[in-house]
Amino acid sequence: MSNQQKIHDAFTNQIEYCRSNGAPITGRMVEAIIGALDDSTELGRQVLGWEGNPLADALPLRVAGGFHALHLAGQHDRLSAIYEGDEQAAKDAEQIIAATIETDEAALLPWLDSPPQTNEAGRSSSYIAGLLWLTQQGLPPRYELLEIGSSAGLNLMIDRYHYNLGGVSVGPEDAPLSFKPDWEGPPPPDAPFAFDSLHGCDIAPVDLTDPAQARRLTAYIWPEHKVRFERMKTAIELVNEQPPNLQGSGADDWMIEQLAKPQTAGVTRVLVHSIVWQYIPIAGRERIKLAMEEAGARATAERPLAWLSLEANRETYRHELIVRHWPKEDGAGGEPVKLGEAHAHGAWVKWLGMP
């Protein structure tokens, strides 16, 4: 397959992904962008000549983030009409995109320099459900949470939010942010637990106390998901009150360093991540897998280890909540268990809750 075909396939994949996740306007934008790009512009040359893996690099969303930022700036009426659902603008989307490139290419090009940051506090609902399940399995109900790909660290404030998960209440009732995803299936276990510590890393952490970085992160929010803008506003306020414990580091180096640290007896150490695995280089993923397997072999009932992830299945366009934990009573451990599926931004959870 030619590299150009891979690029077009990545855009096609992203279009379908957006449509499957309640983002038809974003899907239309991605479709119009690839239709409008050609070698006559620098943006077109860079996108169509992309040398990396366009799907893993989230190339379509890099470009789309730039256009959304222009819309949010409020100075592009015709472009904004697409985001506002105007039918005629949707029909003329390719021409509008081409005209916008002519006038604002310099502002769009920097968006190609780094992958999108799509931090979403709503994903923490899946983390909570997974921790409830782990608690039911008999692991010590005090958790040392280690998150890779934390972006701005919104999910590292998981202890400051309130959750209603299929009728099971978790977290402070007066929390400034609360989540009640549409729940399908039996409720998760009602098994009380607490957090011992919350730490995370990101290769390029976003500092939400910086207004420019906060605006950039907001531009990656899909315009259809209006509730997410309100969540982001509240999350930015929470970060400014007390920033999460977030370090700048590659996921593999950081995780290996964390696993090497002494683990407190009676505390369950948990690696968590959401919508980030595809962005980690293959070599880095393999290092994390090996480190977790080695740490799992050392795990004991007093110092157990777990791995909880919410990542996309690119064949089904669904996000799967997968958990592994060590040790197990029969001496085996670490087998993956699919607990359910969830919306990319926490709108719903389909719970399986396997025993």
CB proximity list for 179: less than 8 A, separation 6 or greater: 121, 122, 124, 125, 161, 162, 163, 164, 346
d(CA 83, CA 24): 10
**Do 244 and 156 meet the contact criterion of CB atoms below 8 Å apart?**
yes
Q: Tell me, what DSSP letter sits at residue 220?
A: T
d(CA 54, CA 48): 10
CB proximity list for 157: less than 8 A, separation 6 or greater: 121, 198, 235, 238, 239, 244
Lowest-pLDDT range of 2-6, 116-120, 131-135, 275-279: 116-120
| Residue 215 pLDDT greater than 60, yes or no | yes
Query: Which band of pLDDT confidence, cut at 50, 70 and 90, is reported for residue 119?
Result: confident
Q: What are the tens digits of pLDDT across the range 285-321?
A: 999 999 999 999 999 999 999 999 999 887 777 899 9
What is the phi/psi pair of residue 182, to 5°?
Answer: -60, 130
Among 131, 130, 195, residue whose Cα is nearest residue 338: 130
| Residue 329 pLDDT greater than 80, yes or no | no
Give the per-residue pLDDT at 355.
Answer: 59
| Residue 332 pLDDT greater than 80, yes or no | no
Give the per-residue pLDDT at 115.
Answer: 81
Q: Which residue has the higher pLDDT, 273 or 3?
A: 273
Mean pLDDT score, 170-199: 96
| Residue 174 pLDDT greater than 90, yes or no | yes
Percent over 70 (pLDDT), the chain: 98
Mean pLDDT score, 164-170: 97
Taking CA atoms, 113 is separated from 3, 30, 108, in Å, by 19, 18, 10
Q: What are the tens digits of pLDDT across the range 8-54?
A: 999 999 999 898 878 899 999 999 999 999 999 999 999 999 998 99
Secondary structure class of 323 (helix, strand, coil): strand
| Residue 187 pLDDT greater than 80, yes or no | yes
Give the per-residue pLDDT at 338.
Answer: 95
Mean pLDDT score, 271-276: 95
In angstroms and rounded to an integer, the radius of gyration of the C-alpha atoms of the chain is 21
| Residue 278 pLDDT greater than 90, yes or no | no
What is the phi/psi pair of residue 106, to 5°?
Answer: -60, -35
| Residue 142 pLDDT greater than 70, yes or no | yes
Give the per-residue pLDDT at 331.
Answer: 56
Give the per-residue pLDDT at 79.
Answer: 95
**Do 170 and 130 meet the contact criterion of CB atoms below 8 Å apart?**
no
Give the per-residue pLDDT at 1.
Answer: 65
Query: Which band of pLDDT confidence, cut at 50, 70 and 90, is reported for residue 95?
Result: very high
**Do 161 and 171 meet the contact criterion of CB atoms below 8 Å apart?**
yes
Query: Which band of pLDDT confidence, cut at 50, 70 and 90, is reported for residue 345?
Result: confident
